[in-house]
A and B are shown apart, each in its own frame.
Chain A
């Protein structure tokens, strides 16, 4: 069913075991978790049960530190805007974010920059990682918050958040990390990483779309970004999505319990894919290769081919993939992540992100390795510049 699905970093199918625990909360246990009567109390128990399990799985001290949200983007927005507006209420605060964050962090950072705050964008080095020393160099006396993603969604590098958090805390700033891509793929513990805030998304871990969470360490001041009935301890108004919360908790339990075996299985498939592509096709390479990386992401540069044309050809053969080419995004600029790690634009246009997951098999990888080279060769043969740019063939 998921044979050619190589885009698990974009989204994942809801696991049947997750769907099963969600179902009762739609029509049967449908109550509003804030209502006092039995039906409401039943929904409330479902909600708080999910909160306790999520809290315990990420090492939170109390369930109150978990705020359920509508998605990872909302969690990121809330973290940046909600923290900055309390720690620098009159503007003039300094925020540090990495330059290869997801747009869910970049855009609110840009908004803050337009509204009286200073923002420094710390670039990754060419190894694909954000280095704590580079964050240190960006720190200022008025730095209030540092936000660096745990794992990068395009290239899969896993940053040393604990080291970066130490730098932030030394300088008196709080630390936020966008963990949407890393949760359940590599160990995540709020104390081990020493973060004050973290963002999560359910649909990246075989849970439902439209559900996210924000970890906010006890005592962290925060301005609610959704004002209303005061749900979620006044941190996020809106009637809670109990089915989503139950689905997220179950999804997290499953992925965490399966992590040791799955990490190894996926890393083997990832390397088989990377080695298979680079051995079969000249002028191809992984965009990053060393250090700690997500086990399921194979970031490839296929030189001399435009990404969208590969994506469409692969789609014809039943494979779903992502590319960092400009043309796939509707903008004229290729992936800001690849540019940030020093990849020239003409190479970044030929990027391919293959991301593997729970239902990927070795047979899927091998089938990809069979059908992919002819696609690239055909597109390169159509290019007026391939030979000129890369010399051979």
Chain B
């Protein structure tokens, strides 16, 4: 399994790391049990464009690189354009991902989708991203292991 130079470049120098304290939308996806978790915060301007974006990710090299690149891709996009980013586009933008790492680009696009819908919900508008599994914000690492179906979660 080899990472492309671009994956390594984003992993080593991730863009837009952090949290926007006055975010308009927050998306949190993944699960520490599966080894990766991502949080995206966005600011949206009055024309429904993503004005600013930050991410935090717990995960492998691919998880961090896909998070980083998706924030670069989404910045300046309309909300619709942002939720339309596909996992393949993320992978392509990074010069490809190893097959076992494709789920990382799903994490990144899902994080963005949840953030966009979160903004729309807060503004009392219709959501547009479709069904995405959001992270449980109250994740308790010590909760009963039997509570979650492993295969399904990861």
Contacts and interface: CB of A to CB of B under 8 A. Distances in A.
B58 A383 contact: yes
Contact of A346 (B8, B57, B141): B141
A308 B61 contact: yes
Given A384-B38, A385-B139, A346 B33 contact: yes
A171 interface: no
Nearest to B14: A382
Interface residues on A, range: 20 to 34
Most A CB atoms within 10 A — which of B1, B14, B34? B34
A140 B59 CA distance: 44
A309 B60 contact: yes
B62 interface: yes
B61 A309 contact: yes
From DSSP, what is the main secondary structure of chain B's interface residues?
mixed
Nearest to B153: A332
Nearest to A316: B12
A386 B141 contact: no
A4 interface: no
A219 interface: no
A333 B100 CA distance: 12
B32 interface: yes
A345 B139 CA distance: 14
A325 B35 contact: yes
A296 interface: no
Interface in A363-393: 379, 382-386, 388-389
Interface in B40-73: 56-64
A328 B33 contact: no
Contacts of B60: 306-309, 325, 327-328
Contacts of A307: 60
Contact of A389 (B8, B11, B39, B141): B141
A347 B141 CA distance: 9
A250 interface: no
A330 B100 contact: yes
Interface in B106-133: none
B93 interface: no
A349 B32 CA distance: 8
Contact of B57 (A331, A349, A383): A383
A384 B34 CA distance: 14
B64 A309 contact: yes
B4 to A, nearest CB: 13
Contact of B35 (A306, A330, A388): A306
A344 interface: yes
Contacts of A332: 34-35, 103, 154
Given A312-B11, A346-B32, 13 more contacts: A304-B58, A306-B63, A309-B64, A327-B35, A327-B59, A332-B34, A344-B141, A344-B145, A345-B150, A382-B14, A383-B58, A384-B37, A388-B139
21 contacts: A305-B58, A306-B35, A306-B58, A309-B60, A309-B61, A325-B35, A327-B35, A327-B62, A344-B141, A344-B145, A346-B33, A347-B141, A349-B32, A382-B14, A382-B58, A383-B37, A383-B58, A384-B38, A384-B39, A385-B32, A386-B58
Interface of A: 304-309, 312, 316, 325-328, 330-334, 344-347, 349, 379, 382-386, 388-389
A-B pairs, top 8 by smallest CB distance, nearest first, are: A327-B60, A384-B39, A349-B35, A308-B60, A330-B100, A383-B58, A384-B56, A346-B32
